[in-house]
Chain A
Amino acid sequence: MRKRVVITGLGVVSAVGNHLSEFWNSLVEGKDGIKEITVFDPSAYRTKIAAEVSHLDPEAYFSKKEIRRLSRCDQFGLIAFREAWTSAGLERDSLDKERAGVVLGAGSGGILSVEKYFRGFYQGQKKSSPSLLISYSLATTTDHIAIESDLKGPRTTTATVCSSSSASLGVAFEMIQMGLADVMVTGGSDSLCEVSYSGFSSLKLVDPESCKPFDKRRQGLVIGEGAGILILEELEHALERDAPIHAEFLGYGICADAYHLTAPEPNGEGVERVIRIALADAGVSPEEVDTINAHGTATLFNDIAETRGMKRVFGERAREIPISGIKSMVGHCLGSAGGIEAVATVMTLKTGTIPPTIHYEVPDPLCDLNYTPNRSIKKDVRIAISNSFAFGGNNVCLVFKKFSSE
């Protein structure tokens, strides 16, 4: 018997807000979180912008000793986790911690710390502290969260970068289906670092001005950072403890283009396949989908392939479905993109407000759907999907439903 899984906690750190309400209000208002980079010196780069997390004082959350040991990625993950965990009432309610686990998605992980170590090491400085190397594993943030709250259930980390934290929701969902857990902490965390910034730059995939998904003037993505953490919980368990239920997670799909290491399959076949797999898994027909959180990276090829894929699934009705491209505001947060966007999708269902795609001015004939330009809209929505695609054509689609106890 398939178990019903609901979302009972949400936590966010992002360029447009360091907690859920600030984040959500910013999205609804169409606030742009992209600005000049301060985490490293961008002066040698053609582009100098990112959706960087600001106004976040680590000392408000961690001791000085902890700050020395935690990477920026760990800090974001822990802060978002605490918000999600506390708001889910799990700190208060007595919980069988052997049946609570953690599955996070990772992208760059703590590479910022590792860069610091190797920069010192290769440049012959003796100062590099080996403790920076604790972040060498992508599992570090996941382990930190589990250890902090003594969670002894299943634990792993997905590593498909741009789709990691969407995939992590799928894996966490299966941990509940396997009967191994009642509660799963999932989503992802990621921080800016030079390796990923220079890498995307080298592929000429970064827009120097702003992130303009689906707009004809788009020149590429803008890298972001932050964390989006969700608490998945088996429905009966959530009802028993009277937990706040934000939405239901119906199912997901994961598949591959098997086409190219970086470029998406241009006709949207992979996109179509993953949406269809996800809808079938969720037991939802394409006609029922009310809104879509697009992957919408604002790279030339992604936005065309994604648009084509959505048309292949939804046919003529594709034009009626409001689509959000929130990377225009929070940037592409790589390992946490799917988590942050899952939080936004859940909030869309909960509030009946669809956040906009900002900087949308010039329509592209090849991207001719309703991208909710510049202003959020109110609409009663029941089913929402969220797309995430990664390098190599690693596609993930998540399906959520407004919660009703029926």
Chain B
Amino acid sequence: MEVYNKTFRNTPNSLPGRQAGELQTPNSPKAHRVVITGLGVISSIGVGIEVFWKNCLQGISGIKPIQGFDVSSYRSRLGGQLPEIDFKAFVKPANLRRMDRIGKMVVSSVRLALDDSGLNLSEEDSSRVGISIGTGLGSSDTVDQFFRSLLKEGPIGAAPLLFQTAVPNAITSHCAIEYGIKGVNITFSHKESSTEMAMTFAYHLLREGKADVIFAGGGDELSEPLYHVYSMLGALSPGKGRGAEEMKPFDQDRNGIVLGEGSGILVLETLEHAKKREARIYAEMAGAGLSGSTDGLLRYDLKGDSIARAMSLAVKDFQAVDYISAAANSTPDLDRGETLAIKKVFGERAKEISVSSLKSLLGEFDGSGGIRACALALSLHHGMIPPTIGTKHLDPQCDVNVVLGQSKRNEMRSALLNSCSNGGSNISLWIKQYPFS
């Protein structure tokens, strides 16, 4: 707390004192504690947490030459795509045929999280079980198919089944239908902070006692139209046609992002509910901080003030933060902005805090937060931090304690998950070891 006060006293955007009120009291009598009891991952480096976690720790990259569509006309050629997945293993056949690929991805990650949690939904009050999903571009491929058919054939070409799966909340509805989840049901779409928002909302509702269990997270798919859009907006590595195409957050030679895809779901649950059913607890979600930066529609928080504020609002015990799962995505603006923010919040202590960006393994995508949160819960649970691969020569302006090369054993009391969107929505989640020592 001392570090944070000292740091903020000297910055123009100091936090108003009154903010320390209710929000900063993690265990006020009314608030429920929220724990993470299940994890489901569909990723380019593994389906299910066993394989995924093993590959994270070994620093295995999911980034390869793009398959499935022609990228020969682009300067970029790489992506972190999923392997072939037999979704029949996860989704009821009757529902499967109504789902597009992103729908199948998210529903399958819910299945994995549910199985991992040991919850028996038939024993739960379905109106107290909810789902909160974030996706940046959702069914971009379905929307594109629908639109191309409309262009080609006119209104008669508009396919009703495509349309109903193209709406952004279809993926959340698929989950509700598949698992009979009748409580809270919401979908967020706000670029790179979509899934973190979904988790924040779920966390708050559980704290307030508005639900017992919420499946929270989400994801995105790497589709051809999405690849096209990112490329046309100049976001892909090599952004300006310089250097090799690589994903290496915090590196002085980085030059933009490589796209990835995947979906990650956390089972969030009130502590009482988890204890009652003797659930295994990975970690405790203990705080969420949200802020906005206003540098421009496609700009990140250049000075790091807003990211710093999000972190400061999330954390209640600054000395207990040992690890930051960074949002850093291999763009100079975000890597540097986030570095500035970490130093603003933690001052001298910043050097002691391990920082790693899982995006080096997975690539960047709006809904990456679900998977990154699963990894963070595993980090706290196992005391291990996955490496930021690819990164070799730290940018002098990114002088934080980046975990390079190999994974690192590091017992941690708590950690932060950062997300920063271009346009300026910044969310930090504070996740604690459980039990907290």
Q: How far is the CB of B289 from chain A (nearest CB, A)?
A: 8
Q: Kindly state whether residue B123 has any CB partner on chain A within 8 Å.
A: no
Q: Is the CB of B183 within 8 A of A256?
A: yes
Known: A160-B169, A202-B160. A255 touches B423 (CB 8 A): no
A144-B297 in contact (CB<8A): yes
Asked if B306 and A44 sit within 8 Å, CB to CB, the answer is no
Say if the beta carbon of A301 comes within 8 Å of chain B.
no
Taking residues whose C-beta sits less than 8 angstroms from the other chain, chain B's interface range is 35 or more
A391 in contact with B147 given A134-B297, A258-B182 (CB within 8 Å): no
User: Is B168 touching A98 in the complex (CB atoms < 8 A)?
Assistant: no
Which of chain B's residues have a CB closer than 8 A to the CB of A140?
297, 423
Within the complex, what minimum Cβ distance (angstroms) separates B344 from chain A? 14
What chain A residues lie within 8 Å of B155 (beta carbons)? 44-46, 198, 201-202
User: Are A199 and B297 CB-contacts (below 8 A) given A174-B204, A273-B182?
Assistant: no
Max chain B C-beta neighbours (<10 A), residue from A152, A153, A195 = A152
Interface membership of chain B positions 147-181, coded 1 if the CB is closer than 8 angstroms to chain A and 0 otherwise: 11011001100111001111111101110110111
Q: Mark A159-184, 1 if CB is under 8 A from B, else 0.
A: 11100000100010011011110000
A75 to B168, CA, bound (A): 22
Q: Shortest Cβ distance from A67 into chain B, in angstroms?
A: 15
A340 CA to B404 CA, complexed, in Å: 51
The CB with the most chain A CB atoms within 10 A, among B146, B164, B187, B288, is that of B187
> By the criterion CB–CB under 8 Å, are A256 and B197 in contact?
no
Q: Which of A123, A138, A150 has the most CB of B within 10 A?
A: A138
Would you call A199 and B147 a contact (CB within 8 A)?
no
The contact of A101 among B169, B174, B204, B290, by CB within 8 Å, is: B290
- Known interface pairs A44-B155, A130-B232, A152-B292. Does A143 touch B424 (Cβ–Cβ under 8 Å)? yes
Contact indicator A394/B288 (Cβ below 8 Å): no
Q: Provide the B311-335 mask, 1 if CB < 8 A to any CB of A, else 0.
A: 0010000000000000000000000
Q: Scan A124-168; emit 1 where CB is below 8 A from any B CB, else 0.
A: 000000100110111110111011001111111111110000010
Given A203-B164, A255-B184, decide whether A159 and B204 contact each other with a Cβ distance below 8 A: no
With a cutoff of 8 Å between Cβ atoms, the chain A residues found around residue B168 in the complex are: 106, 138, 159-161
Give every chain A residue within 8 A of B201 (Cβ-Cβ). Answer: 171, 174
The answer to whether A175 and B167 touch across the interface, beta carbons within 8 angstroms, is no
**Chain A, interface SS category:** mixed
CB neighbours (8 Å) of B151 from chain A are 118-119, 122-123
Known: A139-B421, A153-B290. A115 touches B147 (CB 8 A): yes
Contact with A along B80-107 (1 / 0, CB 8 A): 0000000000000000001000000000
- Report chain B residues within 8 Å CB of A96: 16
A56 CB within 8 Å of chain B: no
Residues of B near A98 (CB, < 8 A) are 13, 15-16, 291, 309
| Contact for A203 among B22, B23, B24, B163, CB less than 8 A | B163
Q: Which residues of A contact B190 (CB under 8 A)?
A: 137-139, 142, 155-157
Contact B158 A198 (CB under 8 A): yes
Q: Which residues of B have CB within 8 Å of A151?
A: 292, 294
Other-chain residue from B16, B148, B169, B189 in contact with A394 (beta carbon distance below 8 A) = B169
- A100-118 toward B: CB 8 Å interface, digit per residue (1/0)? 0110001000000001001
Q: Are B137 and A137 in contact (CB under 8 A)?
A: yes
Q: Does A64 contact B (CB under 8 A)?
A: no
Q: Which of B159, B293, B424 has the most CB of A within 10 A?
A: B424
A261 within 8 A of B: yes
Residues of A within 8 A of B293 (CB): 152
Name the distance in Å between B120's Cβ and chain A's nearest Cβ.
17
| Assembly CA distance A179 to B158 (angstroms) | 45
A101 with B182: in contact, given A142-B190, A155-B424, A261-B170 (CB under 8 Å)?
A: no
Give the total number of A-B pairs whose CB atoms are below 8 A apart.
234
Q: Does A390 contact B (CB under 8 A)?
A: yes
- Note all chain A residues with C-beta closer than 8 A to B292: 101-102, 146, 151-155
Please give me the residue from chain B that is nearest to A276 by CB atom: B127
Q: How far is the CA of A390 from the CA of B164 in the complex (A)?
A: 11
Interface contact B143-A195, CB-CB below 8 Å:
yes
Residue interface bits A226-261, CB-to-B below 8 A is 1, else 0:
000000000000000000000000000011111111
Which residue of B is nearest A148, CB measured? B294
Closest residue of chain A to B306 (Cβ to Cβ) is A152
By beta carbon, the residue of chain B nearest A175 is: B290
A311 within 8 A of B: no
Which of B137, B138, B186, B208 is the most central at the interface, judged by chain A CB atoms within 10 Å of its CB? B186
Chain B positions 402 through 431: 1 when the CB is less than 8 Å from some CB of chain A, otherwise 0 = 000000000000000000010111000000
- The answer to whether A258 touches B126 (Cβ under 8 A) is yes
Residues in B whose Cβ lies below 8 Å from that of A44: 154-155
Contact with B along A195-212 (1 / 0, CB 8 A): 100111111000000000
B167 and A391 contact, CB distance less than 8 A:
yes
Q: Known contacts being A46-B155, A155-B292, is A261 close to B16, with CB within 8 Å? A: no
Contacts of A380 in B (CB 8 A): none
Separation of A153 and B292 alpha carbons in the complex (Å): 5
Please state if B191 and A147 are interface contacts (CB–CB under 8 Å): no
Give the residue of B131, B150, B187, B191 whose beta carbon is less than 8 angstroms from that of A158. Answer: B187
Asked if A1 CB lies within 8 Å of chain B CBs, one says yes
Q: Are B147 and A256 in contact (CB under 8 A)?
A: no
10 pairs across A/B with beta carbons < 8 Å?
Answer: A44-B154, A122-B148, A137-B190, A143-B425, A154-B290, A178-B204, A179-B22, A256-B182, A258-B182, A277-B127
B-side residues, CB < 8 A to A, are 13, 15-16, 19, 21-24, 98, 126-127, 130-131, 135-138, 143-144, 146-148, 150-151, 154-155, 158-160, 163-170, 172-174, 176-177, 179-191, 193-194, 197, 201, 204-205, 208, 210, 225, 229, 232-233, 288-294, 296-298, 306, 309, 313, 421, 423-425
Known: A137-B136, A180-B290. 14 other contacts (CB 8 A): A123-B151, A154-B291, A155-B292, A156-B193, A158-B189, A159-B187, A167-B186, A178-B288, A180-B313, A199-B166, A256-B181, A256-B182, A258-B126, A261-B165
